[in-house]
Amino acid sequence: MAEYDLTRTVIPHCDRHLVFPLLAHLVENELFPAEEVQKAQYELAKETNMVDYAVSLFEQLHPEESVPEEFAGKRENALSTNERLQQEAQAVLDVITNPEVAQSLRQDKNQNLQYLKEHYNVTLEQINALYNFGQFQYSYGNYSGAADYLYHFRVLSTDPDLTMSAHWGKLASDILTGKWDVALEELNTLREAIDSRSPSVPQFTSAPSASITDPALAQLHSRTWLLHWSLFVYFNHPEGRTLLLETFLSPTYLNTIQTSSPWILRYLATAAVLSRKSSSGALSARVRHSLKEIVKVIQMEEYQYQDPVTTFLKELYVEFDFEAAQRALGRAEVVVANDFFLNEFRDDFMDNARYLISEAYCRIHQRIDIADLSERLNLNKEEGEKWIVNLIRETRMGADAKIDLEKNVIEIHRPPLPVYQSIIEKTRGLAFRTQALGAAMTRTTQAPPPASDALPAEVEAR
């Protein structure tokens, strides 16, 4: 199953510290030789300021050798730097934490700066010290501290590049501390920042410096990073999957996925499958919609990327080959179980995937052999029957489907939609749309339309 492991593709798009959990996961699931993974962990830690961690890793790796000298020096160095930076930052922090100051701070950053300078003699350099200290804390693994400092820095700083960098740092810290709500918030602000300010590359990325020259490319880069980082948040936050669908399916990010990171499709597909159940009622329409869209994209990108998860959807919704879908599902289960982001959702995934299969199956068929369906779902007969009863109860087809136990079949009678109903549906939205039309017209007479730098019509779908 190692061939479907995405860790290697994902790592280049993550920050050094974000890779630790990924590697730790690899140690657990034993896809790769433990020693190699440990080596990788060590290499990773060596460059950070987490000296103790690196040392312990080294000891694990080479039990008989003594710890290299450089670590001691590094440790010294780190401690002293920490001391220095903390002192620098403390000055500002004292001022900011002063409730009086906190009250008088406004929305306008320049004004704030002015205010601080006048009253407390806080200069820009001092504020930057916050950033430096935050970054340093991050580098030795004190993520919550880093998040704090970076937050304060961001509130005060006016330097766009550093703010951006602070954004990324804060997001990484929040992810690593596991504060998913905060991280989600942070993610959204960061995304807005990226989308609005095109020419910015996170400073601490390993991005080639050439990319800075081209803002569009830099933005693509940032978006790709954001996609990867957001996986941490979306697959841990309770609401994450639906949010993931919404973000990733927005045209800009869908394009990013198609252009630079097709493997994200796995997460997109999984999220779509997972969201099926939670989306009872009103949400279901959109989720079905998203599935359709994702299937389209999967089909289109098939030549670039496919794995069992995407194959499953393709077989189910493009080829309607239920047997193949079932086989793919079997493999997808393993993939999901082994994936760092997805492993917790394995049962959910399987459940929902089964629902999808049976839903499609029932929609197409009129009479279904229960035994056959159970087999399709990888269930034994009794379980299958239970499953089907549940299915009938839960889904809308309750009224149409009946189980004939004598012949051991399900009969589904789907009366064709009456014509009057379809006409009603066709015309239902019209009044609303006309209203919107009218409203838009009155609105435009009041306010001039915003500057017309929106996208020109882009390439049509293939």
Partner 1 sequence: MSSDDEGAAKAPAAKPAMSRFLRTGGSGSDSDDSDSDSEEESEMSQDEGQQQRRSRFLRTESDGEDSDEEATRVVKSARDKRLEEMEACGKTMDNAVKINDWVAISNEFDKLVRMVQRQQNVSEPIPPFFIRQLVNLETALNNAMAKEKEAKKKMNAANARGLNGMRQKVKKVTKEHETEVKRFQADPEAFEREYTAAAAPEAPAAPRTRRPRTDEDEEEGEEDDAFTTVGKGGKAMAFTAESIFKNLQLIQEARGKKNTDRQEQIKILEKLLAVAVTSYQRIRVLLTLVSARFDYNSSVATHMPIDLWNSAQGEVDQLIGVIMLESAYVIQEVTDEYDELAERTPETEKDGIVRIRGSVISFVDRLDDEFTKSLQNIDPHGTEYVDRLKDEKALYCTICRSQALYEKNKSEDPLGRVIMRRLEHIYSKPDPVVHALESAVAASDIKPSIVLDTEGQTSSLIHSLCTHLYKSNNSFLRTRAMLCHIYHYALHNDFHTARDMLLMSHLQESIYSADVATQILYNRTVVQLGLSAFRCGLIKEAQATLQDIFATQRVKELLAQGVHQQRYQVLTPEQEKAERQRQLPFHMHINTELLEAAFLVSSMLVEIPLLASIDTEEQKRKAISKPFRRLLDFADRQIFTGPPESTRDHIMQASKALQNGEWEKCRDLVQSIKIWSLMPECNSVKEMLAKRIQEEGLRTYLFTYAPHYTTLSLSLLSRTFSLPLRTVTSIVSKMIWTEELPASLDQAAGVVVFHRVDLSRTQQLALSLADKVNSMVEQNEKTLDNKLGLTPAWNERGDGAKGAKGGEQTTERRRGGERRGGMRGGARGGRGRGARFAQGLGNQMAGAQRNR
Site for partner 1 in 398-417 (CB under 8 A): 407, 409, 412, 414, 416
Any contact of residue 265 with partner 1 (CB under 8 A)? no
How many residues touch partner 1 (CB under 8 A)?
A: 85
At residue 125, φ and ψ (nearest 5 deg) are: -65, -40
Any contact of residue 423 with partner 1 (CB under 8 A)? yes
Give the separation between CA 228 and CA 14, rounded to whole angstroms. Answer: 7
Q: What residues numbered 277-336 form the site for partner 1, per CB under 8 A?
A: 282-283, 285-286, 289, 303-304, 317-321, 323
At residue 402, φ and ψ (nearest 5 deg) are: -135, 145
What is the smallest separation between the CB atom of 312 and partner 1, expressed in angstroms? 15
Give the separation between CA 44 and CA 23, rounded to whole angstroms. Answer: 10
Cα Dmax for the chain:
88
Any contact of residue 383 with partner 1 (CB under 8 A)? no
Candidates 46, 167, 191, 266: give the one binding partner 1 (CB under 8 A): 191
Any contact of residue 459 with partner 1 (CB under 8 A)? yes
Candidates 98, 280, 366, 380: give the one binding partner 1 (CB under 8 A): 366
Q: What residues numbered 69-98 form the site for partner 1, per CB under 8 A?
A: none
Candidates 3, 210, 396, 430: give the one binding partner 1 (CB under 8 A): 430
What is the smallest separation between the CB atom of 362 and partner 1, expressed in angstroms? 9
Give the separation between CA 189 and CA 172, rounded to whole angstroms. Answer: 13
Name the one residue in this structure whose structure tokens are 């948040």.
233
What is the smallest separation between the CB atom of 40 and partner 1, expressed in angstroms? 31
Residue type, position 387, single letter:
W
Any contact of residue 192 with partner 1 (CB under 8 A)? yes
Piece of 61-69, 94-102, 166-174, 217-225 that binds partner 1 (CB under 8 A)? 217-225
Q: Is 402 helix (H, G, I), strand (E, B) or coil?
A: strand
Cβ-contact 8, 2 below 8 angstroms? no
Measure CA 57 to chain center: 30
Torsion angle of alpha carbons 430, 432, 437, 442, nearest 10°? Answer: 150
What is the smallest separation between the CB atom of 162 and partner 1, expressed in angstroms? 20
Q: What 8-state DSSP symbol labels residue 282?
A: G
Any contact of residue 215 with partner 1 (CB under 8 A)? yes
Any contact of residue 381 with partner 1 (CB under 8 A)? no
Q: What 8-state DSSP symbol labels residue 462?
A: -
Candidates 90, 255, 280, 390: give the one binding partner 1 (CB under 8 A): 255
Any contact of residue 111 with partner 1 (CB under 8 A)? no
Any contact of residue 167 with partner 1 (CB under 8 A)? no
* Closer by beta carbon to partner 1, 99 or else 456: 456
Which two tokens mark 204? Answer: 């601490």
User: Cα–Cα distances in Å, from 346 out to 77, 290, 342, 356, 389?
Assistant: 45, 20, 7, 15, 23
Which two tokens mark 42? Answer: 């060590």
Any contact of residue 256 with partner 1 (CB under 8 A)? yes
Q: What residues numbered 27-46 form the site for partner 1, per CB under 8 A?
A: none
Give the separation between CA 262 and CA 254, rounded to whole angstroms. Answer: 9
Q: What residues numbered 219-238 form the site for partner 1, per CB under 8 A?
A: 219-220, 223
Any contact of residue 365 with partner 1 (CB under 8 A)? yes
* Closer by beta carbon to partner 1, 50 or else 287: 287
Any contact of residue 450 with partner 1 (CB under 8 A)? yes
Identify the burial level of 41 via C-beta atoms within 10 angstroms of its C-beta, where 0-12 means exposed, 13-18 middle and 19 or more buried. Answer: buried
Which two tokens mark 341? Answer: 């982001």
Any contact of residue 436 with partner 1 (CB under 8 A)? yes
Piece of 16-24, 143-151, 154-162, 245-253 that binds partner 1 (CB under 8 A)? 245-253
